[in-house]
Structure 1
């Protein structure tokens, strides 16, 4: 069985009330990683887009979703290599940012655990 590499991103935006949790898994078998995102707090009936941004600032649209009262699960394929991913974001149809989450490698030490 190939090694799986996993990245996570998690954030909430106090001003919009939206939250975003993302898990990205790359099994090494394809050129695209699997993205599973949970989005909450989007205005019901409004159109939104889920984006991935790489470390060079390039942006890829991963999915289009419609806001609802409850949590929304989104699955997509990400064309960005895991080691190049910087963040995920959800924006409204007008381009206004609803929530943004920076990518964290769960295998890396937290700042409190990092060697000094």
Structure 2
């Protein structure tokens, strides 16, 4: 695999983790105080006003969900087809991708994709 492709996959593998942190900070800094302010001033918040202000936030989460799904498919296929991964380890990686994918993607990328493959030795193995 070319180094540029490894870097691109690495960026994508860290994207859900970074985006989750950005979304949390954005929510806590902008949306949450606005909800509290509207409840104190107006009482009940009308749904159209609430969702109208959050459309960009919701759209970006939907896009991230599709990226996350694509990454899950890619990493599961890569782990299954990777000859350097033992059968027992494949099962563990697939389960990690399914249940804790945001954390498992960067770890798998750092362990199994980023390092260069070591060339075979010229010595005869006995």
Same fold (TM over 0.5): no
Larger radius of gyration: 2
Structure with higher RCO (Cα < 8 A, 6+ apart): 2
Give the TM-score of the pair, scaled to structure 1: 0.23
Which structure is higher in strand share?
1
Which structure is higher in helix share?
2
Give the TM-score of the pair, scaled to structure 2: 0.22
